[in-house]
Amino acid sequence: MSSDLVGKPVTEAQPSGGARLSLRELAIRYGFLLLLAGLIVFFSLATRGFASPQAAVFILQSVSITGILALGVTATMVVGGFDLSIGSIATSAMMAAAYVMVVMEQNALVAVLVCLAIGALVGLINGLIICYMRVPDLLATLGMMFLLIGLQRIPTEGRSIAAGMTMPDGSTAAGTFSANFLALGRHRFDFFIPDLVPASVVVLIVLAVLIWFFLEYTRFGRMMYAVGSNARAAEFAGAPVKAYKIWAYVISGIFSSIGGILLAARLGRGDIASGNNLLLDAVAAALIGFAVLGAAKPNAFGTAIGALFVGVLLQGLTMMNVPYYTQDFVKGAVLVIALVFTFSLLGRNAR
């Protein structure tokens, strides 16, 4: 069944749903998934220990925080926007969690709620600035990123936060990270094998399924795609365009703060220097997602696959003793290839 046999598309008469795919269309649709499968097979054969449940879980864990941020930024890309502040929201949430528990001596629940509130608030402000002050999305969120990077250092005068730290006034912080909070980063659920799946991986999977269902199957998700594809047409169809855009940034903010919570729980401290790569990794995963299933547009499933792809590749290369400092190069190369694939082969202008 080559593409020649299909010939010219029949304009009428053809029963709906019976569209057969040419080789090129097959390649576009399944090429990236096939490549991912190929990589997994290759690494399984080439290294010892890659094809094990532990390695699989390790890969998932390594991409969980990046993946959650990427799912959030996907929501903003769906409405035709972009959120550069995701990384700094995550690190701000991490610092806030540490501050609430260590300095203010509150429990895990308070810390989580404070983080989520910060994420939602920053997302809301982003959305308001973009929709009502007409600041272009990239610039607004770039400014917000800068602001947050600075803001998170002010309460502790630039110090990292850990239990027993010395406060600026010379006293010693009395609080500690609560055990419940740390469990978010360290607890492992049984899954056939005892203590296999870390909590962060469960959070990633739950959020991925949630946002995927929301974007693909609810009318709100559909409207968000309409806003991103042709905002004026969406407005003329009765959609409150600004509200949808603002919600997208709120979603992005909340997802980023969840990422920050998991980061704090994993580290067990509020580390001023961590989280530098979150933004770039997350954006890369979301953009790689354009190429998955030939979507040529932001989509949750693609984003998840994009994050996984990067995780598999890095883990495999590491196990083959490729030095760590090549990692960013590899990620960048994958991103460029995926983008070329998306925009040249699909010939459709995403965004």
Considering only residues 219 to 258 of the shown chain, the ones binding another protein according to CB under 8 A are 219-220, 222-223, 225-226, 228-230, 232-240
Both structure tokens of 323: 């030095």
Minimum CB distance to another protein smaller for 136 or for 168: 136
- Residue 299 beta carbon to another protein: minimum distance, rounded to whole angstroms: 11
Contacts of 84 (CB under 8 A, 6+ apart): 138, 141, 142, 144, 145, 279
Minimum CB distance to another protein smaller for 151 or for 293: 293
Owner of token pair 């699909």:
346
Stretch that binds another protein, among 69-77, 86-94, 201-209, 214-222 (CB under 8 A): 214-222
Q: What is the DSSP string of 11-42?
A: -SSSPTT-PPPPHHHHHHHHHHHHHHHHHHHH
Phi then psi for residue 166, to 5 deg, are: -90, 130
Residue 321 interacting with another protein (CB under 8 A): no
Sign of CA dihedral 296, 239, 81, 250: negative
Residue 12 interacting with another protein (CB under 8 A): yes
Residue 3 interacting with another protein (CB under 8 A): no
Minimum CB distance to another protein smaller for 117 or for 346: 346
Rg (CA), the chain: 22
List the one residue from 7, 9, 194, 323 that touches another protein (CB under 8 A): 9
Owner of token pair 């469960």:
202
Closest residue by Cα to residue 264 from 205, 176, 197: 176
- Residue 35 beta carbon to another protein: minimum distance, rounded to whole angstroms: 25
- Residue 307 beta carbon to another protein: minimum distance, rounded to whole angstroms: 23
Residue 7 interacting with another protein (CB under 8 A): no
Closest residue by Cα to residue 266 from 84, 93, 85: 93
Minimum CB distance to another protein smaller for 67 or for 228: 228
- Cα 241 to its chain centre, rounded Å, is 24
List residues binding another protein (CB under 8 A): 9-12, 14-17, 19, 217-220, 222-223, 225-226, 228-230, 232-240, 297, 348
